[in-house]
Structure 1
Amino acid sequence: MENPEKQPIVTVIAICYNHSAFLLESLTSVVHQTYQAIQLIVVDDASEDDSQQKLLAFMQDYPSVQWIFNEKNIGNCKSFNQALLLAKGKYIIDLSTDDVLEKTRIEKQVRYFESLSNSYGVVFSNAIFIDEQGKTLSTLYDKNQSIPEGNIYSKLIEQSFILPSTMMIKNEVLDSLNGYDETLSYEDFDFWIRSSRNWEYAYLPEILTFQRKVSTSLSSRFVQKENPLVVSTVKVCAKILSLNRNETENKVLIKRLHLVLKQCVFTEDFEAGEEVIKMLIELKGHTFKSKLLSVIIQKRIPLNFIYLKYNQFRA
């Protein structure tokens, strides 16, 4: 292996909120990497379980790890950004402390990153989904699945196909974006859009991350009534409208807006839905179906109970 002093530093920002059952496994997967030039910064976002006690014990064994203990819960975006200010790495990994890194992940992603041109800002990879007991559920991508890479701005408007936990991000990219947008309730969609507008993405076809599916995960909260996650999605769509450069990109945005409009209806985020309708009208994409949904929004017809029942049945 290359001399650690000559290796590019990789900063892992590990954010913990009530991950007591999983965080030691997650952090151990970082400190036991085959790659050695790692800066680990752990942020506890005012956990209400015994996460902090476990983190303090972990600190005794790994005194080089840097720690931030938030006095109150401030959310992922702000927590990440305050750690980013301390980051020394050329590359950054945003790790939730219920997920686990495969032991060669950082070594392999750095090696791949270093082989790419400067136009690339993100390397992402395949993953295995695990349950709360660590049992394998499924893989993110099929073995022979064709995964978009390079300039994938339009693809990311159309579909969210990257797992954030698999990404290694060039620090230069985050610096150019001033980190995550702290006005949003979640960071993934916004980061993909803003970064892919100016940077290329590279796919490394190996399973290098174990993503844990838990009942309290962010994605499971998208079905809840009057949802700040849905409101954040609408805000990102407005950013896309301002970033788009041609009609092809606008057509893809129209497709996304129709999906978001349905979500606004079923989560009863009516004001956000009104903003979606305005964008559809501006883009000349307001169809018969979206006009029907706009009636539900205007009349404030409650449908979230149906949405919840449907998702319970589907689960």
Structure 2
Amino acid sequence: MSVLDAHSVVFEGGSGAESSPRVTVVISLYNYAHVVGEALDTVAAQTLADLDLIVVDDCSRDDSGAVVTRWMKTHAGRFNRCTLYRNDRNLGLATTRNIALGHVMTEFCFMLDADNCLYPRAIEKLLGACDASRAEAAYCQLELFGDESEVGSAAVLSRERLKRGNYIDAMALLRTATLRDCGGYGLFEIAGWEDYDLWCTFVDKGLNAAFLPEILCRYRVHGASMLRSETNKEINSVELEITARHPWLELDR
């Protein structure tokens, strides 16, 4: 069974307008019934009028799917296309994003995890940055909230800086064709490394990513994001794998 056969449509709607949105917001969802509504509200509040929305539920064990379905029934008219998919089994973050990527019909896509949020002008300003610089992606500074409250550590995409570790989050506006050309998100034993791998691929391919030193996105810090259960052996294995993909990395092991 292929990945694209391993999920089904739970809800499909939209305004039916004849406009041609340039951006799809993609939300990956797993067991975030208590916060996904907040994330969705911040997407609906975007100042960019024309948007598509895709949510992929990675076979959540809580009421996440029901929460999103209720929300979409009320707010579907805000979007040109508004779709909820559900994986038939839990496939992990990278595969879930890749499933969503397979359904994107717009020039750009923005990746948002279900526990994070956007400020109203986020998508509009990131799209403007891509247009102004003809970049393949645009990202901004983050605001950490929840169990921590501080400004993130994002900076200009740099091979020299990136070779020692990742400092750019997944919350970025990406040209859909470029993301597909990069192979989507790589699969690793430990979730989270797919973002690092993507930005390393940008460096490998000489792709331009625009950095806006403005706080436009909010990253939620909570127990699930702070607790690290991976063993040193697992981490070493992933570091070896990503270094094999990008030999210029200089990760401490």
| Residues 126, 139 of structure 1: 8 Å contact kept | yes
Residue of structure 1 equivalent to 2:83:
66
* More helix per residue: 1
Larger radius of gyration: 1
CA apart distance, 1:8: 5.4
SS in 2 for 1:164: coil
| RMSD of aligned Cα (Å) | 2.3
Residue of structure 2 equivalent to 1:54:
67
My pick for the range that moved more, 195-204 or 175-184, is 175-184
Distance in 2 (CA, whole Å) between partners of 1:200 and 1:81 is 22
Structure 1 unaligned spans of 5+:
242-248, 262-315
Distance in 2 (CA, whole Å) between partners of 1:66 and 1:8 is 15
* More strand per residue: 2
Residue of structure 1 equivalent to 2:14:
none
CA apart distance, 1:5: 7.1
* Match status 1:197 vs 2:214: no
| Residues 22, 97 of structure 1: 8 Å contact kept | yes
Residue of structure 2 equivalent to 1:233:
239
CA apart distance, 1:184: 5.0
The amino acid of 1:92's aligned partner reads C
My pick for the range that moved more, 66-75 or 176-185, is 176-185
Shift in CA distance, 224/190, structure 1 to aligned 2, threshold 3 Å: same
Number of positions where the alignment pairs a residue of Structure 1 with one of Structure 2: 230
Match for residue 109 of structure 2 among 89, 92, 99: 92
Residue of structure 1 equivalent to 2:138:
123
* Match status 1:42 vs 2:58: no
TM-score after normalising by structure 2: 0.83
Identify the structure with bigger relative contact order (alpha carbons < 8 Å, sequence gap 6+).
2
Shift in CA distance, 33/227, structure 1 to aligned 2, threshold 3 Å: farther
Q: Residues 30-49 of structure 1: CA distance to partner in whole angstroms, max 9, x if unpaired?
A: 11110022111001111112
Shift in CA distance, 236/125, structure 1 to aligned 2, threshold 3 Å: same
Q: Residues 236-255 of structure 1: CA distance to partner in whole angstroms, max 9, x if unpaired?
A: 111112xxxxxxx4xxx3x4
Residue of structure 2 equivalent to 1:182:
187
Distance in 2 (CA, whole Å) between partners of 1:239 and 1:208 is 31
CA apart distance, 1:163: 2.3
Distance in 1 (CA, whole Å) between partners of 2:28 and 2:233 is 22
Q: Residues 191-220 of structure 1: CA distance to partner in whole angstroms, max 9, x if unpaired?
A: 111122220221111100010002112x63
- Mapping for residues 89-238 of structure 1, pairs under 5 Å: 89-117=106-134, 120-131=135-146, 137-141=149-153, 147-149=155-157, 152-165=158-171, 167-182=172-187, 184-186=189-191, 187-198=194-205, 199-217=207-225, 220-221=227-228, 223-225=229-231, 228=234, 230-238=236-244
TM-score after normalising by structure 1: 0.67
CA apart distance, 1:183: 5.0
Q: Residues 48-105 of structure 1: CA distance to partner in whole angstroms, max 9, x if unpaired?
A: 1221221121121133411111121100111111111110121111110100010110
Distance in 2 (CA, whole Å) between partners of 1:60 and 1:6 is 21
CA apart distance, 1:115: 0.7
| Residues 21, 52 of structure 2: 8 Å contact kept | no
What is the percentage of aligned positions where both structures have the same residue? 24
Distance in 2 (CA, whole Å) between partners of 1:210 and 1:184 is 26
Distance in 1 (CA, whole Å) between partners of 2:174 and 2:128 is 13
Q: Residues 160-205 of structure 1: CA distance to partner in whole angstroms, max 9, x if unpaired?
A: 221222x111112212112112355431111111122220221111
Residue of structure 2 equivalent to 1:25:
38
Shift in CA distance, 137/183, structure 1 to aligned 2, threshold 3 Å: closer
CA apart distance, 1:225: 2.3
Runs of 4+ residues deviating >6 angstroms:
4-7
